[in-house]
Amino acid sequence: MRGASFAWVFGCVFGLMVVRGIAQGNPDAAKMKNPVAASPESIGAGKAAFAKNCRFCHGADAKGNGPMAPQGTHPPDLTDAKWDRGSTDGEIFAVIRDGAGPKFDMKGYKDKLPETEIWNIVNYLRSIGAK
């Protein structure tokens, strides 16, 4: 019985740590400031970069309904108000750059896109997201 109690307490503490980590996002990335102004040019460039790199999994409308998402995954709706990995520009940038998912189903784009292009995608997502 003592082992079962320990396992239950450990599971609860671990579960709270995981939930807390997801809810808090990425504190280091949250401090990052977006160096690219959200101009019509940046948003347009971000839209084009999203269409080229992201729509296959996230969908053309960014609702998480892309036709080529890996089987068994559920890409998030990028237009809603809920961002599991943080909602600051820096946290969104870090997810695009580094990847995300429990098993990193979303691969990072740090080797594929220049940072300015990732910031443009952040600006585009902001422009279509929940207000």
Closest Cα to residue 54, out of 9, 91, 100?
100
* pLDDT of 10 above 90: no
Whole-prediction pTM: 0.79
**Predicted pLDDT of residue 84:** 86
* pLDDT of 23 above 90: no
**Predicted pLDDT of residue 83:** 86
pLDDT tens figures, 53-95: 999 999 999 999 999 988 888 899 999 988 888 999 999 999 9
Q: Could you tell me the domains of the chain?
A: 27-128 (1.10.760.10)
Q: CA angle 109-80-30, nearest 5°?
A: 55
Query: Percent of the chain beyond pLDDT 70?
Result: 82
